[in-house]
């Protein structure tokens, strides 16, 4: 596998990629900030940060959205507005099982003519996702203005490529949203 610098040149030249981890949600189903919850030796945020760093790109967390109460769309808008990168890889802090392999596959899936790649599973569309900043920011802001906060709708409007995990990669897209999800993830980690 090429290192991060080689990957940039090989796949998106001259694009630059930045990884942004969204961690500004209310965590209402969990009852407390999910990013600080422990899963083994790391927090949920620590797991996704470690995986993102393996890619060799700049990694940052978005904890405060410039547009409040918009769910993930607020974090996406914040990152796109403040990034200098050509492409932004969006990760969720509550998805600790996303693998470097899956993220590299996502980056390889983006073609020059594409605006976006979204992960898709069981007719659901969501994180992780990869967006071209200049092509996507106006559309994200327009959807927020219309109060259309659906990631599925965003993917449709962007005519995004969909990346489905292989049978062995399905756990990559597991979210930890509730105390029960966390207990199941901890039990799974012990195996």
Whether the per-residue pLDDT at 190 is higher than 50: the answer is no
Mean pLDDT of 91-102: 94
Task: Report how far apart the first and last C-alpha atoms of the chain are (Å, whole number).
Answer: 28
Q: Is the pLDDT of residue 80 over 70?
A: yes
Collapse the DSSP code of 132 into the 3-class scheme (helix H, G, I; strand E, B; otherwise coil) and give the result: strand
Task: Find the mean pLDDT for residues 143-154.
Answer: 95
DSSP 122: T
Concatenating the DSSP letter of every residue in 158-179 gives HT-EEEPPPGGGGGGG----SH
CB 40 within 8 A of CB 107: no
DSSP H stretches of helix in the chain: 4-12, 44-53, 72-82, 100-109, 133-145, 151-158, 179-190
Helix axes 100-109, 4-12, angle to 10 degrees: 20
**Mean pLDDT for the stretch of residues 58-87:** 92
For residue 128, is pLDDT > 90? yes
Q: What is the pLDDT of residues 7-61, one digit of tens each?
A: 443 445 334 899 999 987 666 666 667 888 888 888 999 999 999 999 999 999 9
Which helix (DSSP H) or strand (DSSP E) does residue 66 occupy? none
DSSP 60: E
User: How much of the chain exceeds pLDDT 90, in percent?
Assistant: 59
* CATH superfamily label, 4-190: Spore Coat Polysaccharide Biosynthesis Protein SpsA; Chain A (3.90.550.10)
Give domain limits for the chain: 4-190
Q: pTM for the complete prediction?
A: 0.87
């Amino acid at each position: 596998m090429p290192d991060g610098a080689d990957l940039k040149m090989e796949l998106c030249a001259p694009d630059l990629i930045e990884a942004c981890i969204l961690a500004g949600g209310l965590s209402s189903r969990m009852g407390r900030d999910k990013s600080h919850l422990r899963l083994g030796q790391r927090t949920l945020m620590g797991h996704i940060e470690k995986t993102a760093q393996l890619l060799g790109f700049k990694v940052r967390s978005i904890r405060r959205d410039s547009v409040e109460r918009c769910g993930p769309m607020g974090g996406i808008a914040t990152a796109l507005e403040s990034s200098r990168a050509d492409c932004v890889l969006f990760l969720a802090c509550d998805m600790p099982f996303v693998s470097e392999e899956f993220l590299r596959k996502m980056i390889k899936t983006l073609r020059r003519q594409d605006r976006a790649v979204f992960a898709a599973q069981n007719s659901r569309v969501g994180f992780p996702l990869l967006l071209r900043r200049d092509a996507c920011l106006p559309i994200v802001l327009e959807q927020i203005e219309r109060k259309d906060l659906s990631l599925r709708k965003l993917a449709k409007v962007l005519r995004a490529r969909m990346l489905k995990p292989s049978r062995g990669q399905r756990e990559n897209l597991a979210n930890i949203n509730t105390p029960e999800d966390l207990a199941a993830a901890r039990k799974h980690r012990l195996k």
